[in-house]
């Protein structure tokens, strides 16, 4: 009996190691960039990260401002594009981001993106305040219907996004949700792969 | 039918009567097969022929019938029963349930191996007890079969389908890639099924015959046929080639017999001229080997029999045989014979190279690595097709089990989920 248990444990250890190696080699799961809350209470990514989208067909990168995609070559005639996962756009290569497309169609303008999945309308407004330091000629905030009511604590309370409280007439900053657990899960690729597969 | 025919043949000493019963059985089985599988093919071919000589006509004789799954396999299996009884290799069973179990033994019912009654029936009759080692061996074969099917055959399927469907838009390099990957797909799909069937039978204490012995390491076309779909090729040898005279008569007669075997083998696969051409092509490739007397020289050995690596000559032989077999698969995989010839023409007349992109957007390098590692691993285990994980060290075995399981998880794609290719036959 002890021999069987020892064999099972040995196999499990080998399986976990092989699982981790193979999932990393084949990019079985997307690399997930690590997030932080900056000094203004905005939840964004740690700057200068890189990783692969699932399958390893393209890489994403986080720029030095902590947002996905390229930074503009210069900041004249700047337009900011703020929004949720549609702007974040990890599923497409950097060359397929909105800023690249808009630059091609309107070459005399420059574009800067600030996207993060789950951003509410209020959070988009807060991000725009931060980007004002680059003196953009305008801020474009991409929103869906849900982003408006999800901006209100009293309507759709959510701890991890920045919202507005009608009762206290103030901004309620979002908090990181289980940061340690996420850090472990996203770095332990095999566990994250199994979690995604619902095995 | 064959159950009663078996009893009737055995109960008679009259040679003529025995032969009548045998032909009755063969005729009945072939009639069933012909009706379901070949009737429309011959009607359509007849109509096409009339059209070709100027009589434009449409067929009102074509039937809309569903081909029963695996009909070619169990028809041949029951025919082998009648033949074995006729040749007195086997005593017929008087128990109908035993006979029914032999015909419908579920692991190999739909895609073989096509068992001989002399092997399977005797095991069904015998009292069996649980054998741990046999069951463990069976589970290992099932795992290996699943790996071949899920990780390789099914994951290559979208690539092969894309290339063969859109061959008119791809350069020669992509067409060569497509047919090469199809070679691995069809091998892993079919041998994977056979391994699962053999492994499952082992769990019931039954040993089925081997159906594949690493055909990709064959050194000539004759050796390839000793290693590919063994249960069918030996069936044809025992019940068709040898009764026709085999290689006992003149060279010309032997060539005729070989040609018949390959044409029938092609037709067995399906009612389509593509399979007939595929069979004919193999006959053309086999006959020179036969005439040089090299058709049986590798019967009892494998490549690099007494060394780790193959010699340069052997490497050349492996590459040439693989190229011939892979080329023949253009006929096997194409929808129509016209498609086959256009496909071949494009390879030879439009030679250009372009990087191929996976139709679902995946990274192609992962598939190349998988196939190369698979070939290397099969080379390592090439001496024993029944023991894919025969390593003394348990750490090595556990590592390989883990790799195999992970490959299945990582390469499995629900959108590319495929039934077994040979189910259609």
* pLDDT tens by residue, B346-395: 998 877 888 898 888 888 999 999 999 999 999 999 998 889 998 999 99
Is A87 within the bounds of a domain? Answer: yes
β-pair type (A138-141, A59-61): unpaired
Q: What is the pLDDT, as a whole number, of residue B354?
A: 85
Q: Are B221 and B211 in contact (CB under 8 A)?
A: no
Report chain A residues whose CB lies below 8 A from the CB of B403.
18, 22
Q: What is the pLDDT, as a whole number, of residue A198?
A: 59
Count of domains observed in chain A? 1
Q: What is the pLDDT, as a whole number, of residue B11?
A: 82
Percent of chain B with pLDDT over 90: 48
In terms of C-beta density within 10 A (0-12 exposed, 13-18 middle, 19 or more buried), how is residue A180 classed? exposed
Task: Using pLDDT thresholds of 50, 70 and 90, give the confidence band for residue B49.
Answer: confident
Range with the largest mean pLDDT of A44-58, B18-32, B316-330: B316-330
Ranking A4-13, B110-119, B256-265 by mean pLDDT, the lowest is B110-119
Q: How far apart are CA A178 and CA B61, in angstroms?
A: 70
Question: Is the predicted pLDDT of residue B52 greater than 80, yes or no?
Answer: no
Nearest-Cα distance to chain B for A188, in Å, is: 15
* pLDDT tens by residue, B219-274: 999 999 999 999 999 999 988 898 888 888 888 999 999 999 999 899 888 778 89
Q: How far apart are CA B215 and CA B422, in angstroms?
A: 17
What mean pLDDT is predicted for residues B93-104? Answer: 88
Nearest alpha carbon to residue A166 among A179, A151, A146:
A151
Task: Using pLDDT thresholds of 50, 70 and 90, give the confidence band for residue B58.
Answer: low
Q: How far apart are CA B255 and CA B257, in angstroms?
A: 5
Q: What is the pLDDT, as a whole number, of residue B339?
A: 92
* pLDDT tens by residue, A112-149: 999 998 888 999 999 999 899 999 999 999 988 888 88
> Pick the residue with more confidence: B38 or B331?
B331
Which secondary structure element, helix H or strand E, spans residue A190, and what is its range?
A: helix A189-197
Helices and strands, counts by H and E, chain A: 7, 9
* pLDDT tens by residue, B276-290: 999 999 999 999 999
Ranking A73-87, A173-187, B165-179 by mean pLDDT, the lowest is A173-187
* pLDDT tens by residue, B399-416: 999 999 999 999 988 776
Q: What is the pLDDT, as a whole number, of residue B293?
A: 87
Q: How far is CA A114 from CA A65, A98, A144, B146, B308, in A?
A: 9, 11, 16, 46, 58
Is A6 within the bounds of a domain? Answer: no
B94 interface with A at CB cutoff 8 Å:
no
Residue of B410, B413, B414, B416 to mutate when probing chain A, most A C-beta within 10 A: B410
Is A160 within the bounds of a domain? Answer: yes
Q: How far apart are CA A15 and CA A12, in angstroms?
A: 5
B402 interface with A at CB cutoff 8 Å:
yes
The chain A residue lying nearest B361, using CA atoms, is A57
Question: Token pair 């070949």 is at which residue?
Answer: B38
Q: How far apart are CA B396 and CA B214, in angstroms?
A: 22
Question: Token pair 């699962």 is at which residue?
Answer: B196
Mean of the per-residue pLDDT values of chain B = 88
Ranking A172-176, B44-48, B76-80 by mean pLDDT, the lowest is B44-48
Domain spans, chain B: 2-125, 133-219+298-424
Active-site annotation holder among B229, B269, B282, B358: B269
CATH of the domain at A129: 3.40.50
Active site residue B358: no
What mean pLDDT is predicted for residues B84-111? Answer: 86
Nearest-Cα distance to chain B for A28, in Å, is: 6
Q: Are A90 and A112 in contact (CB under 8 A)?
A: no
Is A55 within the bounds of a domain? Answer: yes
Question: Is the predicted pLDDT of residue B417 greater than 70, yes or no?
Answer: no
Question: Is the predicted pLDDT of residue B331 greater than 90, yes or no?
Answer: yes
Report chain B residues whose CB lies below 8 A from the CB of A22.
403, 406-407, 410
Q: What is the pLDDT, as a whole number, of residue B156?
A: 94
Nearest alpha carbon to residue A188 among A21, A62, A9:
A21
- A11–B366 CB contact, under 8 Å: no
Which residue range is the domain that position A67 belongs to?
34-178
Percent of chain A with pLDDT over 90: 43
Mean of the per-residue pLDDT values of chain A = 89
Ranking B35-39, B93-97, B184-188, B235-239 by mean pLDDT, the lowest is B35-39
Question: Token pair 């080997």 is at which residue?
Answer: B289
Q: How far apart are CA A51 and CA A53, in angstroms?
A: 7
Question: Is the predicted pLDDT of residue B321 greater than 90, yes or no?
Answer: yes
Question: Is the predicted pLDDT of residue B39 greater than 80, yes or no?
Answer: no
Is the preceding omega at residue B113 within 30 degrees of 0, hence cis?
A: yes
> Pick the residue with more confidence: A182 or B112?
A182
Nearest-Cα distance to chain A for B380, in Å, is: 20
């Amino acid at each position: 009996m002890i021999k069987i248990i020892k064999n099972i444990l040995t196999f499990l250890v080998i399986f976990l190691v092989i699982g981790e190696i193979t999932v990393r080699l084949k990019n079985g799961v997307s690399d997930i960039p690590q997030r932080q809350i900056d000094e203004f209470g905005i939840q964004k990514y740690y700057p200068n990260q890189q990783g692969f989208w699932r399958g390893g067909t393209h890489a994403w990168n986080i720029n030095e401002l902590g947002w996905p995609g390229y930074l503009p070559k210069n900041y004249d005639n700047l337009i900011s594009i703020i929004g949720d996962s549609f702007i974040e756009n990890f599923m497409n290569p950097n060359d397929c981001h909105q800023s690249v497309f808009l630059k091609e169609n309107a070459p005399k303008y420059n574009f800067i993106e600030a996207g993060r999945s789950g951003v509410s309308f209020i959070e988009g407004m807060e991000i725009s305040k931060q980007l004002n330091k680059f003196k953009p000629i305008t801020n474009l905030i991409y929103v869906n219907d849900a982003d408006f009511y999800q901006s209100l604590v009293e309507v759709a309370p959510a701890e991890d996004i920045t919202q507005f409280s009608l009762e206290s007439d103030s901004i309620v900053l979002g908090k990181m949700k289980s940061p340690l657990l996420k850090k472990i899960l996203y770095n332990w690729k095999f566990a994250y792969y199994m979690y995604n597969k619902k095995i | 039918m064959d159950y009663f025919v078996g009893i009737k043949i055995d109960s008679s000493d009259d040679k003529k009567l025995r032969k009548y019963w045998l032909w009755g059985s063969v005729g009945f089985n072939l009639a069933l097969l012909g009706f379901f599988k070949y009737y429309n093919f011959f009607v359509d071919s007849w109509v096409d022929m009339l059209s070709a000589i100027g009589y434009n006509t449409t067929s009102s004789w074509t039937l809309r019938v569903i081909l029963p799954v695996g009909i070619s396999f169990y028809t041949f299996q029951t025919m082998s029963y009648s033949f074995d009884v006729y040749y007195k290799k086997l005593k017929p069973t008087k128990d109908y349930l035993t006979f029914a179990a032999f015909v419908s033994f579920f692991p190999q019912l739909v895609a073989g191996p096509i068992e001989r009654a002399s092997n399977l029936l005797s095991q069904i009759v015998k009292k069996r007890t649980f054998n741990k080692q046999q069951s463990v061996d069976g589970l290992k074969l099932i795992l290996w079969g699943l790996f071949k099917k899920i990780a390789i055959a099914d994951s290559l399927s979208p690539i092969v389908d894309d290339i063969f469907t859109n061959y008119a838009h791809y350069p020669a390099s992509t067409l060569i890639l497509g047919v090469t990957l199809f070679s691995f797909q069809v091998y892993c799909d079919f041998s994977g099924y056979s391994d699962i069937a053999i492994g499952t039978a082992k769990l019931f204490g039954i040993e089925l015959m081997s159906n594949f012995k690493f055909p990709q390491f064959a050194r000539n076309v004759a050796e390839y046929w000793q290693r590919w779909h063994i249960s069918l090729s030996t069936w044809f040898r025992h019940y068709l080639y040898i009764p026709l005279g085999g290689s006992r008569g003149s060279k010309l007669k032997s060539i005729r017999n070989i040609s018949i075997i390959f044409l029938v083998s092609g037709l067995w696969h399906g009612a389509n001229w593509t399979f007939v051409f595929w069979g004919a092509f193999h006959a053309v490739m086999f006959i020179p080997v036969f005439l040089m007397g090299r058709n049986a020289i590798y019967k009892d050995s494998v490549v690099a029999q007494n060394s780790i690596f193959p010699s340069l000559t052997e490497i050349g032989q492996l590459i040439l045989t693989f190229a011939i077999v892979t080329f023949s698969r253009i006929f096997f995989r194409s929808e129509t014979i016209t498609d086959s010839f256009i496909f071949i023409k494009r390879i030879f007349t439009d030679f250009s190279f372009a990087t191929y992109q996976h139709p679902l957007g995946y990274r192609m390098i992962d598939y190349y690595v998988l196939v190369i590692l698979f070939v290397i691993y099969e080379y390592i285990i090439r001496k024993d097709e029944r023991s894919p994980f025969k390593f003394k060290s348990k750490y090595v075995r556990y590592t390989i089990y883990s790799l195999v399981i992970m490959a299945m998880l990582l390469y499995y794609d629900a959108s590319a989920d495929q039934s077994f290719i040979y189910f259609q036959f």
